[in-house]
Structure 1
Amino acid sequence: MKLREEMMKMNLNTAVAALAISVATVTAPMAQAESQDPIKIAVNEWTGQHLSANIAAELLKKMGYSVEMVTAGGLPQFTALEQGELHFNPEVWDNSITDAYTNGLTSGAIVDMGQLGLEPREGWIYPDYMAEQCPGLPSYQALYDCAQAFANAESFPNGRLITYPADWGTRSKSVVEGTGLPFNPVPGGSEGAMVAELKSALASKEPILMMFWQPHWVFAEVDMNWVEWNPAQGECVEEDQQRDTACGFAQASVNKIVSKSLPENWPKAAKFIEQFTLTNAEQNAMILEVDQGGRPLEEVVQDWITANEAKWTSWIN
């Protein structure tokens, strides 16, 4: 009996030791954060980027890092990253960049951590009913002859083109000027303002031509068409186009970028960032939940984290 009791005690001690090792393994990332200085993550103007930034932030927190979310304009953020005032942006569309971004990559002040995994498209979109008023669409050449079909009182006789918000760059304006299209580019105020104007136009079948992008929930809810351009001969440069050979817009890759201080100060975080990915399908579904379902972004982020634990566990360990 005594021998049996001793064996039971040994087994209990072994079990407790195993549990302690297991707990240590689970909590190890929390204990191994190289610094408690906050990793500052850029938050831009569109819902998809809010989602990618907040998912990355929550996973970094699971690794034991302090995280600070910083609202950052699409253009000024590159200077802040170059100067180390921001540390990380998980979703940078590389066809909306500035000299500060390019120079930062060249100097090493900004580090490219690879693609996020999205498969984007950008360009001008229009609804089916506008094709009836502008024969020849989807070719961009049709817009020369039916610009008035897209006009409003302020733009007439030119068509009205809703472009990206001003601090996202002037790519549509460059294409209009280079090709001589009779359209007035009008910057949208924000993603939300652009979507509201699109939905209003669709509801009353008003004319609309808008610069837009995917992934986005819009394409899961309404039928929209893309203006088509000539195939690019090499790189498509918005600032250098002519009427007969216009290629429209360079199609982006979506990259994760960091300041050089991040891999220096938080090397384990840098390894996580290299592995972090999202797909169009994942992001589209989450954007729809937030923008149309009215769910808090934080809840949608937590749903993704819960559903994808098998995926992200390997990233953070």
Structure 2
Amino acid sequence: MNKFTTKIAAALSFGLVAAGAQADEIRIPVNSWTGQNLSAHIAGQLLEKLDHEVEYVTAGAVPQLAAMAQGTLHFQPEFWDNNVGDIYPDALAVGDIVIVGPLGLQSREGWIYPPYMEEQCPGLPAYEALYDCAQAFAAADTFPNGRLITYPADWGTRSRDLVAALDLPFQPVAGGSEGAMIAELRSAVAAQQPMLMMFWEPHWLFAEFDFNWIEWDAPENGVCDESNQTRGDACGFAQANVGKLVNRDFAETWPDAYALAEAFTMDNASQNEMILQVDQQGMSVEDAAAGWIAENEEIWTPWIEAARAAQD
């Protein structure tokens, strides 16, 4: 942990409000993945330029919402709205949590493959090509069916369910872990071997390698219902929205910080590169965030100016 190690993380884990937490500190939750950590530290370092004291609080994706509703946490700069439980819509409805706006990240989940597979399966990236060239993705233990690497078993069965619903000639094989999945991708690309895998973005992988995505039918009303899909009407996977949240009193308590929160954005390419620096090159989250700030002054300077104007 860094010098901003939380004084209330343990309390949060039991759903308690921390005693002795200072009212003038802006407390930012830190979740369990690198991309969110980077957004948190970039936002925090920019808030420090406005002379705010910032505290980073380790908090789970669902428990953080109760803490924000209670006012124990204040500003979440990168919030993914999938798998968040019941408290989120309830807290929004009564105004305990406020959506500031989209962060700018374009989240994506789905099946990826190396571009060289399009020579062996010319109908790609359309998912219906998979019916005709499953054998191009086959392995010795799945032939004549194609081999699809899915998320680890404890991450759910979404890919397996979709294969069954669409009667695709593929055999889903659960990845052992994120690390094991990445190792298999690396090996396949190095040997130009068949590969189809469930994955997500933003991720450092896309800063180092080129992958294409299987494309699906357009979802009805722009929202993919994963539970009811058939061939010819298959939207694939629902995509999360990535936004920024504050607690009820944030704008009134820190109008300049709220203006910064409104202006703050992040794009996939920038975050992918920083995740690569942290996860693969050994850089700390703090240093990667500071590096982004040092290299992108023209981007964040208007944010600081807008924040200072709101303070006047």
Q: Normalization by structure 2: what TM-score?
A: 0.72
Letter in 2 for 1:310: T
Q: Tell me if 1:310 matches 2:301.
A: yes
Distance 2:291 2:153 in 1: 30
2:232 to 244, 248, 265: 244
If you compute each CA radius of gyration, which structure gives the higher value, 1 or 2? Answer: 1
Change (3 A) 1:146 1:113: same
What residue in structure 2 maps to residue 66 of structure 1?
53
Q: Is the 8 A contact 2:29 2:59 kept in 1?
A: no
Distance 2:134 2:87 in 1: 36
What residue in structure 2 maps to residue 287 of structure 1?
275
Change (3 A) 1:93 1:180: farther
Change (3 A) 1:304 1:227: same
Change (3 A) 1:171 1:73: farther
The alpha carbon displacement at 1:229 in A equals 1.0
2:149 to 154, 161, 182: 161
Measured against aligned partners, the alpha-carbon deviations of 1:149-188 in whole angstroms (never above 9, x if no partner) come to 5466887767333237856x76545534543444426266
Change (3 A) 1:117 1:315: farther
Distance 1:110 1:88 in 2: 10
1:203 to 190, 193, 197: 190
Taking only aligned residues, the RMSD between alpha carbons, in angstroms, comes to 3.5
Distance 2:141 2:124 in 1: 24
Counterparts of 1:99-114 in structure 2 under 5 Å? 99-114=86-101
Distance 1:302 1:223 in 2: 27
Q: Is the 8 A contact 1:150 1:209 kept in 2?
A: yes
- How many residues align? The count is 281
Letter in 2 for 1:314: E
After superposing the two structures, state which structure 1 stretch, 223-232 or 122-131, moved more.
122-131
DSSP-derived class of the 1:238 partner: coil
Question: Per residue, is there more helix in 1 or in 2?
Answer: 1
Q: Tell me if 1:226 matches 2:213.
A: yes
Q: Is the 8 A contact 1:127 1:223 kept in 2?
A: yes
The alpha carbon displacement at 1:135 in A equals 5.4
DSSP-derived class of the 2:220 partner: coil
The alpha carbon displacement at 1:303 in A equals 2.1
Identify unmatched segments of 5+ residues in structure 1.
1-33
The alpha carbon displacement at 1:271 in A equals 2.9
2:76 to 89, 110, 126: 89
What residue in structure 2 maps to residue 12 of structure 1?
none
Counterparts of 1:254-269 in structure 2 under 5 Å? 254-263=242-251, 265-269=253-257
Distance 2:92 2:134 in 1: 40
Letter in 1 for 2:233: T
Letter in 1 for 2:199: F
Q: Normalization by structure 1: what TM-score?
A: 0.71
What residue in structure 2 maps to residue 140 of structure 1?
127
Q: Is the 8 A contact 2:125 2:213 kept in 1?
A: yes
DSSP-derived class of the 1:244 partner: coil
Distance 2:48 2:242 in 1: 23
Identify unmatched segments of 5+ residues in structure 2.
1-21
DSSP-derived class of the 1:243 partner: coil
